[in-house]
């Protein structure tokens, strides 16, 4: 029996953990479990499958790239970086770096 999974939206794919289970990849690709596991058995699955005991997982980065969502991922990273730079403590892009006296003297 093949189970058709509810397809994932691009936003849901972006919310997956770094190593989602293969069932999440099947849903993102809008294929059934039977088709997905069949492709894995035939070594035809388009993304590398990593096995941890009986658990099968994929890399989210590979899934995002395969689905053509790399631009969406880049936009999310830029958005998060912009949100964090609004008065958040930490290293500022234009801030001078601290160097020890011995490092400065050797230059």
Q: Rounded distance, CA 106 to CA 70, Å?
A: 42
- pTM of this structure: 0.67
Cβ-proximal residues to 19 (8 Å cutoff; 6+ apart), any chain: 50, 57, 58, 59, 60
Which contiguous run of DSSP H or E holds residue 57? strand 55-58
Q: Tell me the C-alpha distance between 30 and 83, whole Å.
A: 33
- Predicted pLDDT at 70: 83
| Tens digit of pLDDT at every position of the chain (107 positions) | 566 788 999 999 999 999 999 999 999 999 999 999 999 999 999 999 999 999 999 999 999 999 999 876 666 666 667 777 655 555 555 555 555 555 555 54
pLDDT given at position 92: 54
Q: Which of 72, 80, 63 lies closest to 17, judged by CA?
A: 63
The pLDDT assigned to 82 comes to 77
């Amino acid at each position: 029996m093949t189970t058709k999974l509810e397809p994932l939206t691009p936003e849901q794919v972006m919310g997956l953990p770094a190593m989602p289970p293969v069932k999440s990849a099947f849903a993102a690709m809008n294929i059934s479990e039977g088709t997905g596991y069949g492709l894995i058995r035939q070594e035809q699955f388009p993304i590398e499958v990593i096995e941890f005991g009986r658990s099968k997982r994929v890399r989210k980065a590979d899934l995002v790239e395969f689905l053509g969502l790399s631009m969406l991922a880049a936009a999310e990273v830029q958005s998060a970086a912009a949100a964090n730079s609004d008065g958040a403590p930490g290293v500022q892009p234009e801030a001078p770096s601290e160097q020890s006296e011995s490092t400065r003297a050797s230059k």
